[in-house]
Structure 1
Amino acid sequence: MELAGVGIWSSQLRYGDQSESSDAAAELDELGFTALWIPDVGGPVLEAVGSLLAATKRTVIATGILNLWMHSPADVAEGYSALTDKHGDRFLLGIGVSHAPLIDAGQPGRYRKPLAATTSFLDGLDSAPRPVPSEGRVLAALGPKMLALSASRARGAHPYLVTPEHTATARATLGSGPLLLPEQTVILTDDADEAHSIGTDWLRSYLALPNYANNLLRSGFSEDDLAQVSPRLFDAIIAWGDEEAILRRVAEHHAAGADHVCVQVLLADPTAFPREQWRRIAAAVN
């Protein structure tokens, strides 16, 4: 499995209409994207991975991320083995510890010691009858401790909601060997008002999660930046404009040390598949 270039991160591929998801995945495969990433906020994520693997021929299917609180290591290891037996080496298991407000909403106090919880989950994958190999998994990582765990217990890191400057810091922490696979959110419009109309509430929802807020504060943004969703913060996290503007931001991540950048396209309708935008990005990349 080689991961380079540009991929697509999409909630629609996971939670949208399954028929359109399969059709879109097949097209994305033909368009040359090197990986398709899907989130996990509940439901049978490995079944979704299997559907996308079946719909594609070459592209890697990655979880970005599999929520470790929602699955047992034994079940994940068994599912990973079944999928790789059937589809070959095209499944990248991205694992993450999620966020306290999301996990504690259903079971108050469950979210605790995220680094220890991640280590325990990896131990479970390693001790399964058919272990998930370290080269077949990456970790959602923002801070230095989780990045270090990504280097020692996985193939690398998948940071989300980050800047190219964070990518440079993450590469310095990881060293030269592990993969660094950041997500980059984009809006294909030259209209600043339209971009902010689409992206501000989306970004604000993530700023309510302590892991992301704290990482941005570590990255040099202020409490006021986060409270107001300042133009400085918005432009640093969301790349908007034409294809050239999008690829310029992707290139900044690559120059900072990213091996692969997965692009998430936002639309005014968050449930719609951004297929026209995916085609435009693919044409610009290729």
Structure 2
Amino acid sequence: MTSEKHGTFGQVGIWSSALHGSRTDDAGKGAIAEAVAELEELKYGTLWIGGSPSVGDAAAVVAATRTVTVATGILSIWDHSAEAAAKHVAAIDESARGRFVLGLGVSHGPMVPRYEKPYSAMVAYLDALDAATPPVDSGHRVLAALGPRMLKLATDRALGAHPYLVTAEHTAEARTALGPDALLAPELSVVLDTDIDRARTTARNMLAMYLGLPNYTDNLLRLGFAESDFHGGGSSRLLDALFALGDTARVRARTREYLDAGADHVALQILTAEEGGGGLPRAEWRELAGAFGDDL
């Protein structure tokens, strides 16, 4: 499947939790602005601000770019009211507002003290976005959806879904659940390292936290993994299914697996041993852009 019906997203984008301007000083904000301007020049289709960002974080990226689509990946509905989110979206410059997408998620029970009835909470949040003045319409929002109910909601009430930490097999199942027209934009974590043991160590360092969150482990169990795959930071079988490990050719091949499974767009998160995924890996972004070439 190509991304023609959602052409503004492009086939390949960048997902990075380091694009949080609110988490750094003025020098850090300047570095983010320079980095996202370069990512736009490299022709990545969409920039996803990862790690529970605010609309303000995304607005700063929008302001530092000219044409690239910018999305939150993912704003937690427990941390920002729908009314406040809509107000901040409306504050984005009108000429640029059309390329901003509000990615929304219900986060995780262990991380949210008041977590309950996440599906109902998301429905109420979307109702509030519809009722806001001005509203954030369904064509400018996506949902972090893993299971069938949230995927159905992403089809009915949003542009589509942005699943995180999923396999190509999940992407195929999600495409079936979403139907042919909804956006499907999974995240795929990447370790550019041809030493496979070292690459898996880098991946495990990132994965360990997520293996303590039931939303992810329950989804992986549904996909056929076992509890034993979660031990020690993740089995090799699990790592190889969730990550793109190796050189740029391997990353291209893994990205193609997700596109062939039904993704319209794949958001690549670059992990490095030095930064633990938290920095701005500009050299790796350039290397990947060169490898993808016109496929971006």
6 and 156 in structure 1: CA distance in 2 versus 1, 3 angstrom threshold: same
Query: Which whole-Å CA distance do the structure 2 matches of 1:86 and 1:233 have between them?
Result: 43
C-alpha separation in 1, matches of 2:176 and 2:243:
23
Q: Is residue 2:236 matched to residue 1:231?
A: yes
Amino acid in the other structure paired with 1:3? F
2:289 matches 1:272: no
Let me know the Cα RMSD of the aligned residues.
Answer: 1.3
The residue type paired with residue 64 of structure 2 is: A
Q: How does 1:204-215 map to 2 (within 5 A)?
A: 204-215=208-219
Cα distance between partner residues in 1 of 2:93 and 2:84? 14
Equivalent residue for 1:63, pick from 72, 91, 99: 72
1-structure distance, mates of 2:97, 2:160:
20
Choose 241-250 or 222-231, whichever is displaced more: 222-231
Partners of 1:272 and 1:121 in 2: CA distance: 32
Aligned to 2:106: 97
1:72 pairs with one of 52, 72, 81: 81
- 1:67-109 per-residue CA deviation (whole Å, 9 max, x = no partner) reads 10001111111111221515231101000000011112xxxxx
Runs of 4+ more than 4 Å apart: none
The equivalences for 1:62-211 within 5 A come to 62-83=71-92, 85-104=94-113, 110-211=114-215
Aligned counterpart in structure 2 of residue 242 of structure 1, from 244, 247, 264: 247
User: Is the CA contact (8 Å cut-off) linking 1:40 and 1:67 kept in structure 2?
Assistant: no
CA distance in 1, matches of 2:150, 2:73: 15
1:6 partnered with 2:12: yes
Contact 2:75–2:102, Cα closer than 8 Å, also in 1: yes
Partner of 1:281: 288
Number of residue pairs aligned between Structure 1 and Structure 2: 279
Q: 2:78, 2:51 → 1: CA distance? A: 11
1:127-185 Cα distance to aligned partner (Å, 9 max, x none): 11211110000000000000000000001000000011100000000000100000000
Question: TM-score, structure 1 length as denominator?
Answer: 0.95
Task: Indicate the SS of the match to 1:63.
Answer: strand
- Could you tell which deviates more after superposition, 77-86 or 26-35? 77-86
| % identical equivalent positions | 46
CA distance in 2, matches of 1:194, 1:277: 17
| Cα distance in structure 1, aligned partners of 2:10 and 2:40 | 14
Q: CA deviation at 1:204?
A: 1.4
One-letter amino acid of the counterpart of residue 166, structure 1: H
Q: Give the unaligned 5+ runs of structure 1.
A: 105-109
Amino acid at match of 2:8: E
Displacement of 1:195: 0.6
CA deviation string 1:47-83 (max 9, x = no partner): 2111111111111110000110001111111111221
